[in-house]
Structure 1
Amino acid sequence: TASHNPPEYNGFKFCRGTAAMAGSEIQDLADRIDNPPMFTLEKGHTTNVDIAPMLLEAIIQSAGRPQRPVRLVIDAGNAVPGPLLQRLMDALGVQHTDLYCSWDPTFPNHSPDPTRPENMVDLGRTVVEVGAEVGIGVDGDGDRLGIVDEQGNFVTPDRLLALFAQDVLEQSAESGLPIIYDVKCSMALELAIQACGGVPIMMRTGHSFLKQALLESPSSPLAGEMSGHFFFNDRWPGHDDALYCAARLVELLARMPSPLNGGPTISSRLAELPDFPSSNEIKIPLIGERAEVMHGVTLALEEAGGQLVTVDGVRIQWEHGWFLCRPSNTESILVVRAEGMTREALESIVSEVSERLKGVVDLEALVKDVQS
C-alpha cells in the first residue's frame, strides 16, 4: 500500500478479519515485536494462495454482469492492478480499450494516481477517440478509482461518490441511511445525499478511520474519500477495492439505456448534481511541530465567524462556503482546500483565511490556484 506517497514509500495494511488496525493498535504490535518473548518459541509459516479467481467471482456475484453492452477505457498506469482489471472486464463482458495495463515500476507514462487530472489526460483523449461511455483509472495498489466522462473531462472523486451515493440510496428500500465521507469533500456531496433521503456524515480522512466509522455505523451502505477510496458496505464487506468499484460503476451505467439509444450520459447525470467553485487540493510543507501549527490555525480562525469542525484538522464553514487545513496522515505536509457557493465567495474566503493565517501558514499557493 501507500501508492499515493512517493515511490520510496511502501507499506502494509493490517486487518483483523475485515476490521482495519490503525494508530495505537499497530504501535502495540510493533512493541510486541520489539520486546521478547514474541517469536522466541518457534517459527511461523506462510501459505501462498492465488486469490484472483476467488476475487473476480466474488465481484461478479455481488455487482452482477451488465444488463446491456458497455464500452469503456481503462488506464492502470503500469501499476499492479492492470492485468487483473483486464480480466475483470473480460469476465463482465465489457468492451474495453486498455491503456498501460502492463507492469512497469518506473511508471513511464504517468503516475498511477487517478485523482490527479494530469494523470488522466491520455485516458480522456482515448475515451473521446473510441466513443466510450466512461474512462476508468486505478491507482498503484488497487484501492482507489478515478474517472473521466464521455467527453474526456476529469471527474473529481467526491462527485463520483455523489453518483454512487445516489445509486445506493435509490436502490435501497430503507430511508435515512448514513453516507460517510471525509472532510475534504464538497458541500455539493452533502446536498446530493440529503436530496436522496440519506444522512451525510463527515469523518476524518484516512482508510482506517472510514473503515472504523463503517463498523460503528453498520447501516451505512457507503463511505468514500476525496482521495478516491470508496467503501461499499451494502453488498460488499466495506473495504476499498478499485476493481469492485469499477464493477459497480459498470452496473450503474448499464441500469440506464445506452446513450446511443437516448439514455443519459455520465456527464448529463453529473450535471444534475450541485456544483460549486473550489480550489484544488493544495499541499504545503509543514514547518514546525504539527500540534503547535494546528493550534495556531485554530486560534486564528476562531474569530472568523464560521462553524469550526475539528474532526480532522480545522474546517471552517460559512453559509457561502468553507476552508480546510489539515495535516497529512502520511507525509510532513498540510493539505488545504476551499470552496464557495460562487466564484466571488471562493475568492473572498481564500482572501480572508490567507490574511488571518499570516505568520502561521503560508497560503500563497492556494491564492494562486484560485486566481488561475
Structure 2
Amino acid sequence: MFPKPLASLQPNTYEYESLPMVKATGFREYDARWLFEKEINLMGMQALGMGIGTLMHERDIRPEIVVGHDFRSYSSTIKNAVMNGLMAAGIKVHDIGLALSPMAYFAQFALDVPAVAMITASHNDNGWTGVKMGIDRPLTFGPDEMGRLKEIVLNAEFNLKGGGSYTFVEGFPDLYIKDLTNRAKLKRPIKIVAACGNGTAGAFAPKVLEMIGAEVIPLDAELDHTFPNYNPNPEDMKMLHALRDKVLETGAEVGLGFDGDGDRCGVVDNEGEEIFADKVGVMLARDISALHPNSQFVVDVKSTGLFNTDPVLLANGAKTDYYKTGHSYIKRRVTELNAIVGFEKSGHYFFNAPIGRGYDDGLVSALAILDMLDRNPDKTMADLRRDLPQTFGSPTMSPHCEDEVKYEVVDRVVAKFKDMQAKGETVGGQKIVDLITVNGVRVVTEDGTWGLVRASSNKPELVVVIESPVAKDRLHEMFKAVDGVLRQNPEVGEYNQTL
C-alpha cells in the first residue's frame, strides 16, 4: 500500500526520501502548482500520477494518456515520477518528450488518446512545477475534477491495478509543426520579432513562423532553464519592454512574445507600444467577425469592456459572453457556446473551428495575428490599435496573498464593495452602477471605469486589473480606491508591478 502523503517533510532526511509530501494548496481551481522540493517531492509527484490514473478509472476513461514536459532543469525528472504513478495505476503512457502545452493537447487528437498530463509551471518563476491535465479533449480539469483528484491523492485512495505501459513517441514535434504549417503562406514576408524568454517556445516558435513565410528575428530563443534575461511571461512588463526595444531596433512590423509553455502570445506593435492581450483580442474579434458575421466570443472578467461596446463588433453582429478567468473555464465556455474564439487578458486565446480545436496555443494565436496583418496590407499593427476606441488600462497587477487566505480575503473585499453600493458610497469619486461577482468582483462606476479583484488560480497572489474609457487620471483614481479597500486586509502584501 502506498503511504498517505504528508503536508510537509524536512529535506535531506530519511523521511523526505521515503515518504510522499504534497501540500494541499497545490491543487488549484483547474491545474496543479507547487514549489518543487518545498511543497511537493518526487514521491508526491508519483502519488499525483497514481491519483490521475485512479480518477481516469473512476470516470471510465480509456486508460491511455499523453505526457510531456517543459524546459526546466527538473521537469523531466518530475515527469518520470508522474509516469511511474500512472503506470502503477494501469495507464498506458504516451511520452512526447520536451513539449509545449498545446503540443500535448494536439497529441490527444493526433494520437487519439483521451487524456493528457503536461508537466509545466507555465509562466511561474523557476522553482515552481505543476501539471495541466485533461480527460475530455479539448477540455482541461475544472474544480470538480481537481477537487476529486485532491481527495484521492491526499487520502491515498489509489486504484493500483498495475499493467500500465510506456511508449516514447518519436518525432512528435514534426507532426505538430506540420499541422500548424499545412496552410497557405503569408502573401508577404511580414518582419517580426519572436521573443521566447529562453523557454520551451524557443525550440519551436521561430521555425513555425519562418515556415509560414514570416521574416523572423529571434529574441532570447536559445533554451536556457535559468531564464537569464527575464521570466517568459507576456504579461510581465520586463519581457514586453525587451520585446519593444528589439522591435524598434530592427524596424519589425510586430513583436510576438511567448510564455514558458507556449500557450500564450503577447504583442508589441511596430511603434513599440505594448498592446495588452485583451485589446489584441478586440482587434482579432473585429477581423474574425468580418469574415464570420454574428460570431460568438467568450472573454474573461479581466478583459476590456470594448467587447460589448466596440462599434465594429456591434455592426458585425458579434456577441460576447464575459466569464470566469482561467484557461479551463474559458475553454469550457467556448465549447458550451460553440464560440469561434475565447480571449483571456492573460493572453490565452482559444480558437475553435474553423481556426483551431478549442484549446489555447500561442502559435495559433501568433498565426491569427499575422493573418490579420496580411489581410490589412494598408495598415500597420499600430494603425489597427489606433482604430480601437481609446481606453486606459492597467497591466495585470498581483499583490502577494498566501494561498490559505486569499479566497477569504476576496470574500471580504466583495462584501465591502456590496456594502458600499448599498450605502450609496462612491469609489474613486463615482457611484457604483454594477458589481459583477462571477469571479471575484468587478466594480463598475457610472462613467464606465471599472476595477477587478480576484484570487489568482495558480499562485499565492490576488489579481487586480483597472480600466477607464474616460481618462488616465480616472485609471489612477480607481486603482487608488480599489487598493484602499485591499489595504484594509493585512494579509495583502506588495504588488509584483503597478501603474
TM-score, scaled relative to structure 2: 0.67
**1:325 Cα shift?**
0.7
CA distance in 2 between partners of 1:30 and 1:49 (Å): 33
1:170-212: CA deviation from partner (whole Å, max 9, x where unpaired): 111x41x221111111223432343532112111111111111
2:395 corresponds to 1:280: yes
CA distance in 1 between partners of 2:350 and 2:188 (Å): 25
> Which amino acid counterpart does residue 489 of structure 2 have in structure 1?
V
Tell whether the 8 Å contact from 1:179 to 1:221 is kept in structure 2 after alignment.
Answer: yes
| Residue 294 to residue 125, structure 1, CA distance change in 2 (3 Å) | closer
Structure with the greater alpha carbon radius of gyration: 2
Report the equivalent of 1:268.
383
Aligned Cα root-mean-square deviation (Å): 2.4
Amino acid in structure 2 at the alignment position of 1:129: E
Farther off after superposition, 314-323 or 117-126: 117-126
Q: Cα 1:47–1:139, aligned 2, differ >3 Å: closer, same or farther?
A: same
Task: State yes or no: 1:46 paired with 2:173.
Answer: no
Query: Where has structure 1 moved over 6 Å in runs of 4 or more?
Result: 361-366
CA distance in 1, matches of 2:374, 2:465: 34
Equivalent residue, structure 2, for 1:333: 461
Higher deviation after alignment, 286-295 or 318-327: 286-295
Partner of 2:208: 88
- C-alpha distance in structure 1 between counterparts of 2:434 and 2:243, whole Å: 40
Check conservation: 2:196, 2:259, Cα contact below 8 A: yes
Residue 317 of structure 1: aligned partner: 444
Change (3 A) 1:43 1:294: same
Instruction: Letter of the 1:267 partner, please give it.
Output: A
* Corresponding residue for residue 61 of structure 1: 182
Please name the residue that 2:298 is paired with: 180
In the alignment, structure 1 residue 294 sits paired with structure 2 residue 410: yes
Find out whether 1:101 has 2:221 as its counterpart.
yes
Q: Deviation of residue 357 (structure 1)?
A: 5.2
| Amino acid aligned to 1:114 | P
Q: What does the per-residue CA deviation read over 1:226-284, in whole Å, with 9 as the maximum and x for residues that have no partner?
A: 11111111321011111111112221111122xxxxx2111011001022223332212
CA distance 1:132–1:348, change in 2 (3 Å) = closer
Residues in 1 aligned to 2:487 and 2:222: alpha-carbon distance in whole angstroms: 47
The 2-side partners of 1:97 and 1:358 are apart by 44
Mapped contact 1:78–1:112 kept (Cα < 8 A): yes
Letter in 2 for 1:181: V
CA distance, structure 1, for counterparts of residue 226 and residue 493 of structure 2? 32
Give unmatched runs, 5+ long, in structure 1: 258-262
Q: Does the CA contact (< 8 Å) of 1:161 and 1:224 recur in 2?
A: yes
Higher relative contact order (CA 8 A, sep 6+): 1
**What's the counterpart of residue 260 of structure 1?**
none
Q: How big is the shift at 1:294?
A: 2.2
Q: TM-score when scaled to structure 1?
A: 0.88
The code of the aligned residue for 1:89 comes to: L
SS at match of 2:260: coil
Pair 1:36–1:85, CA change in 2 (3 A)? same
Q: How many residues align?
A: 360
1:53-108 C-alpha deviation (Å, 9 max, x unpaired): 2222222235x311222111111111111121122122112111111111000111
Contact 2:235 2:396 in 1 (8 A): no
- 8 A Cα contact 1:191 1:274, kept in partner: no
Contact 2:247-2:272 within 8 A present in 1 as well: yes
Alignment equivalent of 1:243, drawn from 363, 366, 377: 363
Identify which of 255, 271, 274 aligns with 1:135: 255
Percent identity of paired positions between Structure 1 and Structure 2: 27
Secondary structure of 2:442's counterpart equals: strand
Change (3 A) 1:365 1:39: closer
Q: Distance in 2 between matches of 1:363 and 1:120?
A: 26
**Could you say if the C-alpha distance between residues 23 and 343 of structure 1 is closer, same or farther in structure 2, counting changes exceeding 3 Å?**
same
Alpha-carbon distance in structure 1 between the residues aligned to 2:440 and 2:248: 40
CA distance in 2, matches of 1:225, 1:201: 12
Name the amino acid aligned to 2:124: N
What SS class does the counterpart of residue 238 from structure 2 fall into?
helix
1:227 is matched with which residue? 346
Q: Alignment partner of 2:320: what SS?
A: strand
- Unaligned runs of at least 5 residues, structure 2: 1-119, 422-431
The answer for the alignment partner of 2:125 in structure 1 is 6
3-state DSSP of counterpart to 2:129? coil
- Contact in 1 for aligned 2:454/2:462 (Cα 8 Å): yes
Q: State the AA in 1 paired with 2:417.
A: L
Q: Say which is worse superposed, 126-135 or 189-198, in terms of deviation.
A: 189-198
Q: Does 1:190 align with 2:318?
A: no
Cα drift, residue 161 of structure 1 = 0.9
Give, in whole Å, the separation in 1 of the partners of 2:131 and 2:492.
33
Q: Deviations over 1:296-334 (max 9, x none)?
A: 212211133331111110111123211111011012211
Residue identity matched to 1:151: E
